Structure 1
Amino acid sequence: MHRLFVAIRPPATIRSALIGLMEGIRGARWQDDEQLHLTLRFIGEVDGRTAEDVAAALGGVRQPPFAVALDGVGQFGSRGRPNALWAGVRPHDSLAHLHRKVDQTLVRAGLDPEGRAYLPHITLARFGRESGGLDAFLARHAGLSSAPFEVTGFALYESRLGHAGATYTMVERYDLRD
């Protein structure tokens, strides 16, 4: 089985800026440089044949390149407890359009449609039971921003879960074009 997702890899300057923020929260499991990405669509576990179909189908996605920028920070949580810290990305329109195209392509390849609302973000950290200092971090970095960076493509990744966290391997890269 293959655990797959589709994502955009931010440029090195953006990843470096994000890594520079990663401190000051007890219990944070910070993402490393190899883990920083902007998810377009989580696929999940699929067999080898489906993985091949997905990789081939994504080659048909067409959209012109576009620019986005970092924009603020936030958190996801459940049951009143934070479980992830993220950096936001704007503008959403081009990202949402690309997300829809990827989702429609995957549905045509036989997968179920995305069931969750799409909120473009780059995960910075994950939390277990402790997240001391999170509120101060959110306040300190609420105005996070960057110069716009060009999105010229996206990739299909395979994720392997381990004791030290997830490791991601790029399966195939796809260039954006009209």
Structure 2
Amino acid sequence: MHRLFVALRPPPAIRQWLLGLMGGIQGARWQTDDQLHVTLRYIGEVTTPVAEDVAVALGTIRAAPLTLRLNGVGCFDKHDRPNAVWAGVAPHEAITALHRKVDQALIRIGLPSEGRAYLPHVTLARLPRSAGPVSGFLADHAALAGAPFEIGHMLLFESHLGSEGASYDAIGRWPLRS
């Protein structure tokens, strides 16, 4: 089985800037450079033939390169407890349109729709139950506003879960072009 997701990778300078923001939440598991991405579509566990179909479907998508910027921070909650902090990605329209194209291509090969609202973001940290409060980090970085950056391709990643968290391998790359 292959645990897959489709994502965009910010350029190295943006990733370095994000790494410099990390800190200030006791017990947080901060992401590494290799883990920083913007998920377009989580796929989950699939067999090798389905993974091959995913690759073919992604190759059919036509979309122009994106100009994005980081904008604000937030956190996801699970059972009324923060479990991740993130940096937002703007503008929403272009990246949301690409998300829909990816979702539709995967639906055409028989995968279910993602089914949840899409919020473009870069996860900065995972928060175990023992993590300290996030309010200080969120307040300190509420006005986060990054320089625009261009994304010229999307990637298919395979995720491997381990005792230190997830590691990701890019197993496919498709250029964004009109």
Q: Shorter-chain TM-score: what band? A: over 0.9
Is the CA contact 1:6–1:40 (under 8 Å) kept in the aligned structure 2?
yes
Where structure 2 has 5 or more consecutive residues not aligned to the other structure, the ranges are: none
Partner of 1:20: 20
| Deviations, residues 71-127 of structure 1 (Å, cap 9, x unaligned) | 010000122210000000100000000000000000111101111000000000001
| 1:77-88 correspondence runs (5 A) | 77-88=77-88
Amino acid at match of 2:60: G
Residue 94 (str. 1) matches residue 114 (str. 2): no
> What TM-score, normalized to structure 2?
0.98
Residue pairs, 1:163-178, within 5 angstroms: 163-178=163-178
Gaps of 5+ in 1: none
Check conservation: 1:65, 1:177, Cα contact below 8 A: yes
Distance 1:14 1:176 in 2: 19
**Cα deviation, residue 133, structure 1:** 4.0
The aligned amino acid for 2:109 is: A
Q: TM-score, normalised by structure 1?
A: 0.98
Residue identity over aligned pairs, in percent, reads 59
Deviates more, 1:95-104 or 1:78-87: 78-87
Q: Which runs of 4+ in 1 moved over 6 A?
A: none
| Distance in 1 of aligned mates of 2:75 and 2:35 | 17
CA offsets 1:13-60 (integer angstroms, 9 cap, x no match): 110010001111111000000000000000000000000010111001
State the distance in 1 between where 2:98 and 2:130 align.
Answer: 35
What letter matches 1:106 in structure 2?
L
Which runs of structure 2 are paired with 1:27-176 in the superposition (5 Å)?
A: 27-176=27-176
RMSD after superposition: 0.7
CA distance in 2, matches of 1:110, 1:58: 14
- Aligned partners of 1:77 and 1:141: how far apart in 2? 18
